[in-house]
Each structure stands twice: as structure tokens, then as C-alpha cells.
Amino acid sequence: MPNPDDTLLRLIEMLRARGYAFVTPTPATHARVLGQAGRESARTIEDVLGWSRAFDPAILEPALLDTLAAADALEPAAGGLVRSRFRVSSLKGRLYLHSAYPTDAEDSVFFGPDSYRFADLIEAELACMMPRSGAAIVDIGTGSGVGAIVAAGMAEGARVAMTDVNPQALRLARINARAAGVAIRGVEGADLSAIEEPIDVALANPPYIIDDADRTYRSGGGMLGGQVSLDMARMAAARLAPGGRVILYTGSAIVGGEDRLRGALEALAEAQGLSLRYREIDPDVFGEELERPAYAGVDRIAVVAAVLTRP
């Protein structure tokens, strides 16, 4: 029997050879597109592996259909149709496997607009500092592996690791790394105890939304969704080598014009003798979340970049 992971890698290679590309939108946009009249049925591979539409197996070329079946990537859908258990998205010339829409399961592996902005932030920061050969880079809570893969592609000779509490995330991240042709060590766990050496660059794109179901991949915890980001930054900062930095991409709920996450990170930086650069990348995302009672009194949710550096 073929190894399912090897088969999923083969799927990515086949899609790349066919020029496949798909940009994943927010879940709200995804839902709106699926509800548009005249777009109910799947006709293309992008419908199947991008929009997560149920499909008639006859619309796919046999080689792709056989590969999906061999990878155990198909599940039955209503009306005798089938559906892919995975999506494939494109980012900076690479393809990434992640969970099918909707990402309701506890072990969902998320990919979306934040992935693109996170990749841009990493490129901009590493271009300014370019880690030395042998530098230790860790992507904390890697998800589909975007942070680790982008960093590994830029920092030749670096020792790159990616961590996650979700075995399914590490599985797909490893496949994505193989597809990208970069060597990255996967570490399952919620802390950095398995990373022995001081860290030169810590990357983090933690969840920052209040999630009623408290799903790990989506819930940002207390502080209106900012607690996980603060905890991750604190954990990484404590392990920084001299000159090392934490590159944090996250979101912050702004209340009465006040950015409470920024204040908490400023206090962390002062307590640990670090410098902090902080800026808003996007002033207003996931506006639909403000309709929920959990966000009563919140002005907006801003996407922010925080870079903590040890002298």
C-alpha cells in the first residue's frame, strides 16, 4: 500500500505541473462565494481543492482522482457526490495542503489571508537581518508550515524547526515542507522544551479570535483573543539568544481606541530588557466578529506586527 503522505506529496507535484493556483479568502468570503447563484456545482480542480465543493468524480482527470483516492482524501457527500478532505492553496510560488472548508473540527489546519500577510512580514524582517548559517529558527504553532517554510527558503544553512500541539498540522506541514524542498524538523508540543539551543529567530502567527468552542487552532484565549499571543511572545522571548528576535504576527481587539495587547507587550519588553517594534498591518479585519456578544464594546480588530529583540 502506498504511504498516504507520499501520495499527498505526489498530489502537490501533479498540481504544480498543471499550473494549479488558488488564493484562500476569509471564511466569511468563502461562504458568500459558495452561496452565489450559478456556482453551486464543481467544474474545475480549483472548485474541488480550493473551494471545497462536492463534486462528481467524472469531472476530474483519472490520475488526479486516483491520487486523491489513494491518499484517503475523499469522503462521501450528498447526492452521490464526493468531497476532498483537504484544500490546496498557493503562496509565493509554493502549494500548501490544509483542511477543507469549513474548518469546524478541533484538529483543523487553517490557512487564509493571515498566511499571506505573515509570509510578507517574515520576508521583510529576515531581509533586514538575514540569519547567519546555523542560526536556530523556530516557527511556534506552525499550522500548515507557512512561517517555517518561508524562513527556511530565505535563510540557507539555518536550523529550522516547527512546533504545534496538533499532530494533523505537523503532518501536513511536513508534507508541505517536502514539497517546498526545505529541511525542517517537526516538534509536537505546546512549549519549547524540545528546542535545546538558544533561539535566533522565533516566528509566531497565533490565533487571535474569541472562539466559543475554544478550538485550539482558532481561539486566542482571554484579553479579547490576545492572551495566546502574549503567552507565546513571553515563552519565545525567554529563549532568545543575544541579538535574537521574536517576529509575532497577530490580531488585537481595540477598545475605546486602546490597544491592550500593545501595552502588554511593552510591559513584557521592559521587564525582559528587550526592544519592541510594533505596528498595525491592517486596521480592520474580521469585522463580522463584532456582531457577537463576546466583542461588545470592541471598536475593531487590527492585524499587528510585533518584533521583540534581545540586545
For residue range 143-153, what is the model confidence (pLDDT) as tens digits? 999 999 999 99
Tell me: do 211 and 86 sit in the same domain.
no
pTM of the model: 0.96
Tell me: do 283 and 134 sit in the same domain.
yes
| Distance, C-alpha 213 to centroid of its chain | 19
Could you list the residue range(s) of the whole structural domain that residue 58 is in? 4-99
Q: Whose CA is closest to 97, among 201, 22, 2, 182?
A: 22
Mean of per-residue pLDDT scores for the chain: 96
- 108 inside domain: no
Give the whole-angstrom CA distance, residue 260 versus residue 98.
32
Tell me: do 210 and 293 sit in the same domain.
yes
- 107 inside domain: no
pLDDT, average across residues 180-187: 98
Of 99, 124, 151, which residue constitutes the final position of a domain?
A: 99
pLDDT, average across residues 274-279: 98
DSSP 101-156: SS--STT----SHHHHHHHHHHHHHHHHH-PPTT-EEEEET-TTTHHHHHHHHHST
| Distance, C-alpha 77 to centroid of its chain | 27
- 249 inside domain: yes
The pLDDT-based confidence of 40 (bands split at 50, 70, 90) is confident
Confidence at residue 217, expressed as pLDDT on a 0 to 100 scale: 80
Cβ atoms of 6 and 174 closer than 8 Å: no
Of 99, 127, 151, which residue constitutes the final position of a domain?
A: 99
Of 76, 99, 122, which residue constitutes the final position of a domain?
A: 99
Confidence at residue 229, expressed as pLDDT on a 0 to 100 scale: 98
Residue 269 has pLDDT above 80, yes or no: yes
Confidence at residue 215, expressed as pLDDT on a 0 to 100 scale: 84
